[in-house]
């Protein structure tokens, strides 16, 4: 990209044609915005420091100033003679100051190998995180540029960090991990080595012929755009695929095998591929019922818009957060819906449709914490539906039994709507719990319906309402998506925190529900990073820059 245009912009000297050219470059080049911001940061930083150094070197101390003002200014001839030494001295002071500044800000401004702007950005850091460069190890700085050859390390306990590339690809390092940003041979390619520990990769589609390569001591993973998690220990590398396909090459025997969504590969002396995630990978607590499990969400993700299905059953039914600004990723796992939004699957929930329709049974389970006792609609906690009037099922929170309650302090209740051949398109009549169980605390909520039509709502292991949904699921619609938080059309939002959501194709027994209650909420192996507003803006920037008018490029550099 033409940096002469950058400089003219900073000097406010762009012509009309140059303004149009800069706007075009920023729109069409994938790294245009980030390179412009880096240039503007440096321009602003150097200019500000030079100005301050000049002011400090020229302005006299207060006492000196008072003494100087007692005498008349020197004659012009005397001042001109003084310039012969004043300007070189001032220039020397400014250069020395800039040299100090460059030394202090080297991690941000200048990188080895010609990578002035870096190949990636360290977006966030929690706990003990360091960057090793040219043999020197320094604490990581949020927002710093990373170059080829850099080693990023995380410490123990709550340490974690997020690395983002210009195309939107993200690497999330867990605790006690080390990753090297390698030279991929082509300046446009990405090459990373995970030496130890674990990382979550969410890789944007890569250019044809330039896949991302992720190496470990045991395997080489060729990535063209997908999401997966990798663990490395002394004996094996484990890869768990969430989306897409990667090619895995075993370094021991040179054999290669593709790993698809939902599969797990263990690479050591040989490569074993299974469909079951590692026990410590999904965040699923031990001791939970698994027979009939179709979809499971433990909210293990630190960032991003995806909530992954970690059930290991069939193709993952991942969910997407419509507005990431409306949610918070909780420090130790979990998702808070702070403002109305929907978290929904991109495609119809076909595997839920097929399994439940075949058996005519259903269990919907949620570990939640309501934000408000009185939510109406019912407010959608978990729903497989099309709109506010069409659904296969909805587990919700409400505040009335046959009447509207206007007092927001009224104790709430939980309700279930289920479509069968004996209920209507909206799943009514509704089965409701008694008033009171919807409290502002962590709650284990379960609905079951067996093949005989018998239905029960459990709260914290206790059956609070028994009823019936007669008929069968023959009228279910296979085009409905699974969603949390509200309907797709914006109706009936639910606010609160999610810690686990599960859907089964059978009715769990009271004993199994008690076992799931005892197992509790997921206890993730790494504490979560809660991004700041600045980190969120960096992390969720679009992969391809949207059209941007140059007139909108007046940045507040304190935000970067």
**What pLDDT digit, counting tens, does each position of 160-176 carry?**
888 999 888 889 888 88
Would you state the pLDDT for residue 167?
Answer: 86
**What pLDDT digit, counting tens, does each position of 103-114 carry?**
444 444 444 444
CA distance 334 to 302: 9
What average pLDDT score do residues 371-400 get? 90
Closest CA to 194 of 210, 211, 218: 218
- What tokens were used for 96? 């020395």
Q: Kindly indicate the confidence band of residue 374, based on its pLDDT and cuts at 50, 70 and 90.
A: confident
Which of the following CATH numbers is that of domain 118-274: 3.10.105.10, 2.60.40.10, 2.60.120.1440, 1.10.760.10?
A: 2.60.120.1440
Instruction: Give yes or no on whether 118-274 and 293-524 have one common fold.
Output: yes
CA distance 392 to 154: 45
84-93, 277-286, 307-316, 394-403 — which is least confidently predicted? 84-93
Would you state the pLDDT for residue 110?
Answer: 40
- What tokens were used for 154? 């995380």
Would you state the pLDDT for residue 467?
Answer: 94
Question: How far is C-alpha 413 from the chain's CA centre?
Answer: 32
Q: Kindly indicate the confidence band of residue 229, based on its pLDDT and cuts at 50, 70 and 90.
A: confident
Sign (positive or negative) of CA dihedral 545, 546, 550, 554: negative
Percent pLDDT > 70 in the chain is: 69
Would you state the pLDDT for residue 37?
Answer: 64
Would you state the pLDDT for residue 192?
Answer: 93
Q: Kindly indicate the confidence band of residue 115, based on its pLDDT and cuts at 50, 70 and 90.
A: very low
pTM assigned to the model: 0.55
CA distance 64 to 82: 18
Would you state the pLDDT for residue 446?
Answer: 97
Would you state the pLDDT for residue 92?
Answer: 52
**What pLDDT digit, counting tens, does each position of 405-453 carry?**
444 444 578 999 999 999 999 999 999 887 656 778 899 999 999 999 9
What average pLDDT score do residues 332-359 get? 94
CA distance 440 to 371: 6
CB 169 within 8 A of CB 202: yes
Decide if pLDDT at 123 tops 60.
yes
What CATH number is given for 293-524 in this structure?
2.60.120.200
Domain extents in the chain? 3-104, 118-274, 293-524
At 536, phi and psi to the nearest 5?
-60, -40
Which CA distances in Å does 91 have to 96, 222, 403? 9, 52, 80
17-26, 147-156, 401-410 — which is least confidently predicted? 401-410
Q: 481: which strand partners?
A: 385
Q: 154: which strand partners?
A: 129
What average pLDDT score do residues 367-388 get? 91
DSSP code for 412: B
Q: 213: which strand partners?
A: 191, 222
Q: Kindly indicate the confidence band of residue 20, based on its pLDDT and cuts at 50, 70 and 90.
A: confident
| Residue 408: Cβ within 10 Å count | 12
Decide if pLDDT at 317 tops 90.
yes
Would you state the pLDDT for residue 200?
Answer: 85
Would you state the pLDDT for residue 52?
Answer: 43
Query: Could you write out the DSSP letters of every residue in 381-442?
Result: EEEEEEETTEEEEEEEEES-SSS----TTS-BEEEEEE--TTS-TT-PSPEEPPSS-B-SS-
What average pLDDT score do residues 514-541 get? 56
Decide if pLDDT at 318 tops 70.
yes
**What pLDDT digit, counting tens, does each position of 170-213 carry?**
898 888 899 999 866 666 778 999 999 888 888 889 888 889 99
Would you state the pLDDT for residue 554?
Answer: 31
Which CA distances in Å does 281 have to 86, 160, 203? 66, 16, 19
At 197, phi and psi to the nearest 5?
90, -145
Which CA distances in Å does 102 have to 132, 141, 155? 18, 15, 28
Would you state the pLDDT for residue 266?
Answer: 87
Helix (H, G, I), strand (E, B) or coil at 254: coil
CA distance 33 to 308: 30
What is the rounded average pLDDT for all residues in the chain? 77
CB 299 within 8 A of CB 325: no
Question: Exposed, middle or buried: residue 16 (CB in 10 Å: 0-12, 13-18, 19+)?
Answer: exposed
CB 322 within 8 A of CB 341: yes
Peptide bond into 429 cis (omega under 30): yes
Decide if pLDDT at 220 tops 50.
yes
Closest CA to 398 of 426, 373, 376: 376
């Amino acid at each position: 990209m033409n940096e002469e245009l950058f400089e003219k912009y900073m000097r406010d000297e762009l012509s009309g044609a140059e303004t149009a050219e800069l706007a075009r470059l920023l729109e069409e080049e994938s790294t245009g915005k980030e390179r412009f911001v880096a240039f503007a940061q440096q321009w602003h930083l150097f200019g500000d420091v030079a100005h301050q150094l000049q002011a400090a070197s020229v302005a006299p101390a207060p006492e000196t100033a008072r003494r100087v003002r007692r005498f008349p200014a020197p004659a012009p001839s005397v001042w001109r003679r003084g310039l012969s030494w004043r300007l070189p001295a001032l220039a020397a002071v400014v250069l020395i100051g800039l040299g100090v500044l460059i030394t202090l800000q080297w991690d941000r401004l200048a990188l080895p190998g010609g990578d002035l702007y870096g190949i990636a950005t360290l977006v966030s850091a929690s706990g003990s995180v360091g960057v090793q460069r040219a043999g020197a190890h320094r604490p990581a700085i949020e927002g710093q540029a990373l170059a080829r050859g850099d080693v990023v390390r995380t410490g123990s306990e709550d340490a974690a960090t997020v690395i983002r590339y210009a195309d939107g690809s993200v690497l999330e390092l867990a605790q006690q991990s080390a990753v090297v940003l390698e030279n991929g041979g082509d300046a446009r390619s990405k090459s990373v080595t995970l030496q130890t520990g674990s990382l979550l990769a969410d890789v944007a589609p890569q250019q044809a012929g330039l896949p991302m390569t992720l190496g470990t001591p045991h395997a080489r993973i060729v990535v063209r755009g997908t999401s997966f998690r990798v663990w490395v220990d002394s004996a094996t590398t484990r890869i768990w695929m969430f989306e897409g396909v990667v090619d895995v090459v075993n370094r021991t025997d040179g054999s290669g095998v593709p790993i698809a969504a939902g599969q797990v590969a263990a690479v050591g002396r040989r490569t074993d591929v299974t469909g079951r995630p590692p026990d410590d990978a999904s965040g699923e607590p031990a001791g939970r019922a698994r027979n009939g499990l179709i979809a499971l969400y433990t909210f293990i993700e630190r960032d991003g818009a995806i909530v992954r299905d970690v059930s290991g059953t069939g193709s993952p039914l991942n969910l997407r957060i419509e507005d990431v600004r409306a949610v918070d990723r909780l420090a130790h796992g979990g998702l808070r819906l702070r403002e109305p939004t929907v978290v929904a699957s991109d495609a119809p929930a076909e595997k839920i449709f097929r399994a439940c329709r075949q058996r005519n049974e259903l269990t919907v389970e949620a570990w939640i914490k309501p934000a408000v006792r009185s939510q109406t609609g019912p407010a959608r906690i978990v729903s497989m539906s099309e709109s506010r009037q069409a659904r296969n099922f909805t587990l919700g929170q409400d505040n009335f039994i046959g009447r509207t309650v206007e007092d927001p302090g009224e104790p709430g209740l939980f309700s279930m709507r289920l479509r069968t051949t004996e209920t209507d398109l909206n799943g009514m009549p509704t089965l409701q719990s008694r008033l009171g169980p919807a409290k502002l605390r962590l709650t284990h909520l379960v609905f079951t319906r067996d093949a005989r039509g018998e239905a029960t709502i459990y709260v914290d292991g206790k059956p609070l309402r028994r009823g019936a949904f007669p008929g069968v699921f023959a009228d279910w619609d296979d085009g409905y998506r699974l969603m949390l938080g509200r309907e797709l059309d914006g109706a009936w939002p639910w606010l609160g925190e999610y810690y686990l959501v599960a859907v089964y194709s059978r009715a769990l027994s009271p004993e199994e529900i008690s076992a799931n209650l005892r197992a509790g909420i997921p206890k993730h192996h790494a504490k979560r990073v809660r991004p700041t507003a600045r980190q969120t803006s960096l992390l969720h920037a679009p992969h391809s820059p949207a059209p941007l008018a140059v007139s909108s490029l007046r940045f507040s550099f304190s935000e970067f």
